[in-house]
Amino acid sequence: MNPISDLLNRIRNAQAVFHPTVEIPFSQMKFEICQILEKEGFIGRVEKRGKKLKKTLELVLKYNEKEPVISGLKLISKPGQRAYAEAKKLRTSHGRYGIAIVSTSRGLMTSKEARKQRIGGEIICEVW
């Protein structure tokens, strides 16, 4: 299974049953995606746990009056079909409420930041 899709599914499933936290196997890309989600206010906190081979990420999920802050997650770029876009064609997800996470030559960033820096790249996922 694609590790990014696994990350999104674990978040979606944990929020469906109102878990306060979720643990995810560690990878640097997952960590950077979670840091973006934390910075944009979709999750409460992200922490690295464990050492060497047993590293995990612990995410503290956010809720607004019994409703998850994240109402939707969508994997855009899949292993069999990558999705790339120029800086001009990057847009926000679901009006102004969501974000698209883009992998650029300068690292992972939101589509808004990539458009501002005039960098295109691979669209990883959308969160709203």
Mean pLDDT, the chain, rounded, equals 94
Q: Does domain 3-68 have CATH number 3.30.1370.30?
A: yes
Quickly name the fold that domain 73-127 has.
Answer: Dna Ligase; domain 1 (3.30.1490)
Backbone angles phi, psi at 64, to 5 degrees: -115, 105
Q: How many other CB atoms are found less than 10 A from the CB of residue 30? A: 20
pLDDT at 61: 97
Q: Where do we find the tokens 């196997």?
A: 25
pLDDT at 119: 96
For residues 59 and 22, what is the distance between their CA atoms, to the nearest angstrom? 5
Q: Is the pTM of this model over 0.85?
A: yes
Say if residue 53's pLDDT is above 90.
Answer: no
Every domain of the chain with CATH number 3.30.1490.10 lies at 73-127
pLDDT in tens, 56-65: 999 999 999 9
Say if residue 89's pLDDT is above 80.
Answer: yes
pLDDT at 52: 84
- Exposure class string for 43-62: b at 16+ Cβ within 10 A, else e: beebeeeeeeeeeebebebb
Every domain of the chain with CATH number 3.30.1370.30 lies at 3-68
Query: On the CB side of 120, how many CA atoms lie within 13 Å of its CA?
Result: 7
